[in-house]
Amino acid sequence: MVDLSLRLGVVAAGPQPILPLAASHLTYATASGTWVGPVDLTIGQTGATVVLGPNGAGKSILLRLLHGLLEPTTGSVSWNGRPLDRDTRRRQAMVFQDPVVLRRSVAANLRYALRIHGFRGAALRDQVDEWLCRAGLTQLARRPATVLSGGEKQRLAVARALCGRPEVLFLDEPGANLDGASIIAIEDLLRAARDGGTKLILVTHDLNQARRIADDVVFMVAGKAKERAPASQFFDAPATDEARAFIDGRIVL
Amino acid sequence: MQDFGDAFGLAFGLILGGDPDLAEIVGLSLRVTLIAVALSCAIGFPLGAATAIMRFPGRQGVVVAMNALMGLPPVVVGLLVYMLLSNAGPLGVLQLLYTPTAMIIAQCVLVTPIVAALTRQTVEDLAGEYDEQLRSLGVGVSGQAATLLWDARFSLLTTALAGFGRAIAEVGAVITVGGNIDHVTRVMTTAIAVETSKGNLGLALALGIILILLAMAVNGLAMTLRSQWMGRVYG
């Protein structure tokens, strides 16, 4: 069977990449104060960008602003020069600190996300089985997702986010309050996704996790991006006093 | 106490005797109420879900009105539906007054605000939990409503049962628009009202007991189906 585009002499073009992601003079303020910004930031197409900083630095708010769950007070977020639209929304995903699981079985949670991405019939069933296997949840497929342990819920949330093969995956403290084995399982999924071409943008205050995953680091303090550097440079020779204090385990206010 | 004893005896005698008039009244009661509740759910579930997740000017007013309408006086509803369906009313041409259809309409008007208001509360609670996740997945408003209604389905069954309880026990509206015509629009509650007015307190009480047993049976059946459904969904 001859591809129609070849017969017509048309070069089939894939969809435009949605990265780089650019935040321009981004701020988020409420009546009680300014939580983020101004932040100017450009995030490239590959690897894992870790947003690091102490509690209350505005990391999670920044993540929600970038993902489009919060409207910035001023400034803008652009995806490869374009504002967020429905297509760009479908090509990214997010995993929350407290995993939100639908009140359905584990398999039905995956089925729900896969349907959104257009899977039907046998392909849908195959994908559900594949992601159950990848997340180590095959034995729990028919169990209500709400009764899973914290680590199992987070694995399900990560698998559900990844099953649509997002180009960008946002993660808000995905290892918070989890045991070591669960964190390793989740990081394995994330590394596989990164190696498969998914851009990871991960918020954490866990230095060890940042060291394991980060290709580059955005260091935030008091709502501002204080430092941006490749991971090795950031951890070996931080440029700011705040970053040095944070890495040394001294509290940064 | 003698009256109560007699009433229980009479009630069970009527049930066990398979009285055809009683069967007809019970059948009509169930038919009218179940259709009215089904229609109310068809309207109230999406209405409640939409009010829960959509933000629009005047939303708070809609929520207050919806809650207030839960306490609609049945007689007033009966009167309004009567005025709509009477020959002089805008829908008089349909000739529905004193038919089971009129009773269904009246019960539907009475029950829909209950279903909508309770659905709004249930869905709003769940939406607080799901909101960011669904938006993150790119689910639109109608998709969110469908997801929330589906995931709240076991709670919403209780909402439907609340509507059923209100409808099956209601007398003011159905007697106004149905007229309590024997073999046409006589239901349990209107029959009780008639027997009471005739002084047949024992028979009225017996019918009351049957009505309560009926309501309990429907609730019990719904709860059994719910647990079997949950078992099938979750294996």
Predicted confidence (pLDDT) per residue in B169-185, tens digit: 999 999 999 999 999 99
Q: A20, exposed or middle or buried, with CB in 10 Å at 0-12, 13-18, 19+?
A: middle
**Subunit contact B137:A93, Cβ cutoff 8 A:** yes
A-chain residues near B137 (CB < 8 A) = 93, 113, 116
Give yes or no for A94 touching B (CB within 8 A). yes
- Across the interface, of B135, B139, B233, the residue whose CB is closest to A116 is B139
**Mean pLDDT confidence for B19-28:** 88
- Across the interface, of A67, A69, A102, the residue whose CB is closest to B151 is A102
Average pLDDT, chain A: 89
- Across the interface, of A69, A93, A105, the residue whose CB is closest to B233 is A105
A-chain residues near B139 (CB < 8 A) = 116
Q: State yes or no: ipTM above 0.90.
A: no
For β-strands A48-52 and A216-221, DSSP reports them as: parallel
Asked if residue B103 lies in contact with residue B177, where contact means CB atoms within 8 angstroms, the answer is yes
In which band, very low, low, confident or very high, does the pLDDT at A69 lie, cut at 50, 70 and 90? very high
pLDDT at position A9 is 41
**Subunit contact A103:B233, Cβ cutoff 8 A:** no
Choose from B137, B151, B155 for mutation: most chain A CBs within 10 A.
Answer: B137
Asked if residue B148 lies in contact with residue B126, where contact means CB atoms within 8 angstroms, the answer is yes
**Subunit contact A69:B151, Cβ cutoff 8 A:** no
Alpha-carbon distances of B179 from A113, A159, A166, rounded to whole Å: 53, 61, 63
Rounded Cα gap, residues A55 and A35, in angstroms = 12
A1 pLDDT above the threshold of 70: no
Beta-carbon contacts of B172 under 8 Å, excluding residues fewer than 6 positions away, are B73, B74, B75, B77, B78
Choose from A18, A65, A67, A103 for mutation: most chain B CBs within 10 A.
Answer: A103
Give tens-digit pLDDT for B102-160.
999 999 999 999 999 999 999 999 999 999 999 999 999 999 999 999 999 989 999 99
